[in-house]
Amino acid sequence: MEDNKRIPCMRCIHYHTTFEPAAPRGCKLFQFKSPLMPYILVKQSTGQDCTAFKERPKRDDDGGDKSGKKDFNDPKYW
């Protein structure tokens, strides 16, 4: 397999932001926090690419216009 394969951790259901300056990225599945992207730490620790990646489901637009903006003056939000 390719050595420099990037895994899009930010689109994974296991990825989370910790808001800790020293370790802002984390993986809920492997239960760690790190300054590195989780796939890099998994590769360094195990020598293999992360196989736990599962794409996060896309959010529905919820009726916004084509630009992705919502009109919060619309009564359906209140």
pTM: 0.67
Residue range 33-52, pLDDT digits in tens: 999 999 999 999 999 999 99
Residue range 2-24, pLDDT digits in tens: 566 888 999 999 999 999 999 99
Q: 44 phi and psi, to 5 degrees?
A: -65, -35
CB atoms within 10 A of CB 47: 7
Separation CA 13–CA 5 (nearest Å): 19
CA distances 25 to 67, 71, 78, Å, are 30, 33, 35
Check if the beta carbon of residue 62 is closer than 8 Å to that of residue 70.
yes
